[in-house]
Structure 1
Amino acid sequence: MTADTALAVDAVPSPDLELAKQTSALTVQEAIPEAGDETKSSRTPPHRSHDPQYNMKRSDPFMFGSRYLDEGDNVFEFNAWDHVETDDAYKEYSEQQFAMQRASPVSDFEKNKFNSDPARFWNLFYKNNTANFFKNRKWLQQEFPVLHTVTAEEAGPRVVLEVGAGAGNTAFPILAHNKNPKLRLHACDFSKKAVEVMRSHAEYNTEFMQADVWDVASEVLPPGVEENTVDVVLMVFIFSALSPLQWEQAVKNIHRVLKPGGEVCFRDYGRGDLAQVRFKKGRYLEENFYIRGDGTRVYFFEKDELARIWSGVFDEETSTNGAKDGISEPTPNTPQQPSAVIAKSPLFDIEELGVDRRMLVNRAKKLKMYRCWMQGRFRKK
């Protein structure tokens, strides 16, 4: 994944848009090399050169990027590096941050307020950030080639369901690349304000697209969508906005609407991402689950955790059975090892699931910033 792609991904509407500008408190300082310590080789591999023609986006969704940081490299030569594991200093700092977060959780009163009506806070967010919507997210087709397939002129009748926080940011780019006269795109968001913004957009075309309010963790299906009718479900930075108590119902709903063999395209935050590490006191709801300053919620996932969830395996503590309105019961402020509840039959095959790690650098201030995203494709059995 190129630097441009990574920045585009992070530009999906989210309260973390200005994250990279607010990192001085938690980034790790790198020593500046002595003059003459590193020399430029005349045989620099193309992908490591500054030539823009070698910094092209590519179509394989699980290569993620090709700029590797090798021993002896000047870490500040480029703005970003791919597949960089966090160093020991950052790991130590992260664990200190997590311990501080657990020790100062959100109060039970505040927890109930944020969990009882999460759509309220997303409505306020979209009201204040309308100008940031609906840019051309070219990375979608590059990361999820199935979107090329369904939008091709000869594809025939296809139904795509985009479920999201700010669904239009992915729905409109799909339409921008669409050549299929028989494509039907449903864009659903649990924020009424987000849907209003979508419907008022100049490119909103009811011939191809329908935007509606829908809570993916509710007990009803999206308006105009029936069971076993959807070819592709796109979920980009939406699952992290749900309470763990809502995951099971959300996965079941997605399973219901997809055709047999239908595909979920998924991208979201990974544990240890800069956005998680930077949280201060009074933001911790549960392990890996936080409240942002604007009242919206965000969860940070582990790879194995996502594989269990989309296979139909849920933790007893996070099962929706008996839970109402997504309200999470208070939990101890230390991590636990919950037992698992296995679905009667697996729901999805995990086609691909990867961890996309990138290290962004501030070359002027000599700072390193670690990002971590999860990306996968899940196919309905």
Structure 2
Amino acid sequence: MPVDYEINAHKYWNDFYKIHENGFFKDRHWLFTEFPELAPGQSQDHLEDLPSDNKRSEVPECRTSEDGPGLKIEQHKCSSNSLEHETQTAPVEENVTQKLNHLEICADEFPGSSATYRILEVGCGVGNTVFPILQTNNDPGLFVYCCDFSSTAIELVQTNSAYDPCRCFAFVHDLCDEDQSYPVPTSSLDIIILIFVLSAVVPDKMQKAINRLSRLLKPGGMMLLRDYGRHDMAQLRFKKGQCLSENFYVRGDGTRVYFFTQDELDTLFTTAGLEKVQNLVDRRLQVNRGKQLTMYRVWIQCKYRKPLLSSAG
């Protein structure tokens, strides 16, 4: 039976997203508090020399996703890589032509090749991390990549009204498949995000997955992780028959989850040639008043940096 969960993992995750779609996960309001590396100021230092009027003009563009994907706004953002060439009054036809030219230029290299700050989220789900980043970070040099094991999840990301192909590239990817390449070259990413995704990987495949991701980071680039910690409430609730191997369980829907210790994660990242910046346990008390139960959620949060002078490929 454990072999079935591995072979049919795609099916289980696709079924999960077909059932829950956008309703299961909530926007992560804690994202920029816990990971200020994702906040606009981290990737906008080069904007300080721009005229203040130009910087202000970018703010409303990035915070209008609730108004829908409006063609005029989307084409405006895609029309050029530089602020001085942008205009809000250009005809839609002209903007469409500019967008197509922009995409043709990018196609000769790789998605986001002209970006100055690149973020990749692995295991993006339906975009609850990606979209807050895109909507909050106005940096015209920012490009966000996001991938997921589930093709259904990626379809939900790509059809979301906030998805902008000029600032984001979503793709299906199995981070455990060593023969499947990422759409970016080595040493090209500033940030890699892993939020509740590594725990879904078979334990003996985790190290190679992290090694491959590490090679994508620029020297000084950061890998950010938040995942399930050992003895989390969810682990304690599993019944005996749901344990596939030590600390690795299968849920009722066929998806799997591992519960980490800090040392395990430290070993994974340092073996991949990264240096510890943060490795902490976040314990949150939850009270179910109806059942009169008090339970602890246990998460681990990590930040590891690729050395400026790296010998790890």
Q: CA deviation at 1:246?
A: 1.1
Is 1:371 matched up with 2:297? yes
What is the TM-score normalised by the length of structure 1? 0.60
After superposition, the CA RMSD in angstroms is: 1.8
* CA offsets 1:360-379 (integer angstroms, 9 cap, x no match): 11345432111100001011
Query: Which letter does structure 2 place at the counterpart of 1:161?
Result: L
- Tell me, yes or no, if structure 1 residue 350 matches structure 2 residue 309: no
Q: Among all aligned residue pairs of Structure 1 and Structure 2, give the percentage whose two residues are the same amino acid.
A: 42
User: For 2:175, what is the secondary structure of its paired residue?
Assistant: coil
Q: Unpaired runs of 5+ in structure 2? A: 48-114, 308-313
Q: Does 1:127 align with 2:18?
A: yes
Mapping for residues 324-339 of structure 1, pairs under 5 Å:
none
Whether 2:251 is the aligned partner of 1:292: answer yes
| 2:3 aligned residue | 112
1:251 equivalent in alignment to 2:210 = yes
- 1:202 and 2:128 aligned: no
- Offset from partner CA, 1:153-211 (integer Å, 9 cap, x none): 74671000000151611111111111101111001101111111111111110110000
Asked if the contact 1:159/1:230 (under 8 Å) is kept, the reply is yes
Shift in Å, 1:151: 4.8
Looking at structure 2, the residues matched to 216 and 275 of structure 1 have their Cα atoms a distance apart, in angstroms, of 24
Partner deviation per Cα, 1:60-90 (whole Å, 9 max, x = no partner): xxxxxxxxxxxxxxxxxxxxxxxxxxxxxxx
If asked which structure has higher relative contact order (CA below 8 Å, sep 6+), I would say 1
| Superposition TM-score, scaled by structure 2 size | 0.72
Q: 2:263 aligns with which of 304, 325, 334?
A: 304
| Correspondence for 2:238 among 273, 279, 292 | 279
Deviation at 1:137, TM superposition (A): 2.1
Residue matched to 1:163: 122
Deviation at 1:290, TM superposition (A): 0.4
Q: Does 1:360 align with 2:286?
A: yes
Q: How do residues 191-270 of structure 1 correspond to structure 2 at under 5 angstroms?
A: 191-220=150-179, 222-270=181-229
- Once the two structures are superposed, what CA deviation does each residue of 1:124-166 show, in whole Å capped at 9, x if it has no partner? 1011110316743221111101111445474671000000151
For 2:160 and 2:199, the matched residues in 1 are separated by 26
Paired with 2:124 and 2:116, the residues of 1 have a C-alpha distance of 26
Aligned to 2:140, the other structure's residue is in SS state: coil
Q: Map Cα deviations across residues 77-132 of structure 1 (whole Å, 9 max, x no partner).
A: xxxxxxxxxxxxxxxxxxxxxxxxxxxxxxxxx11100123122101101111031
| Cα gap change, 1:201 to 1:169, in 2 (>3 Å) | same
Number of residue pairs matched by the alignment: 239
- Secondary structure in 2 aligned to 1:129? helix
The alpha-carbon distance between structure 1 residues 307 and 128, as it changes in their structure 2 partners (threshold 3 A), is same
Query: Which structure has the highest helix share of the two?
Result: 2
Counterpart-to-counterpart distance in 2, 1:272 and 1:356: 12
Whole-angstrom distance in 1 between the partners of 2:30 and 2:207: 29
**Contact 1:258 1:380 (8 Å CA) reproduced:** yes
SS at match of 1:352: strand
Q: 1:262 to 1:153 in 2, by over 3 A?
A: closer
